[in-house]
Amino acid sequence: MAITMIDQVEVASKEFEQSHLFNKLQKMVVVARVFQSQSDNYSLVHSVASFDLDNPEIYEQVKADYDLVRETIRTQGFSNLSGKMGKLVQPRTKGQGLVVQKTPETLMDKGFSIRHRSWDFLGN
């Protein structure tokens, strides 16, 4: 489940408690639905809950996941993020990326990522 896009400048410069991810999780409502069919004409709502950052175990794990991504951006660069990082939230690649005439190396040198990444929640 995608939560929000990752802004590498914001993540590198802000602690978890000041981050966009933290603010989103504070307000997030999760709606579980019953899968009906591929056509997705309608859905039955199974349950609704808020994301519980008040639970110390969840809070500490999400913070650790954020800090791992933050440290990777700061020391190795945005391009070294992997969807295998993190236990509850992960940096996942989204979309087709940029369609441009420049080479990937040129864009990376200027601080652009070739593919967008978002914070994704890894549910059970």
Pairing of strands 116-121, 29-34: unpaired
pLDDT tens figures, 55-81: 899 999 999 999 999 999 999 998 899
CA dist 113 → 9, 56, 75 (Å): 12, 33, 16
Q: Spell out the domain ranges in the chain.
A: 2-36+43-121
| pLDDT tens for each residue of 5-58 | 889 999 999 999 999 999 999 888 888 888 888 887 888 888 998 878 888 999
Instruction: Provide the whole-model pTM.
Output: 0.72
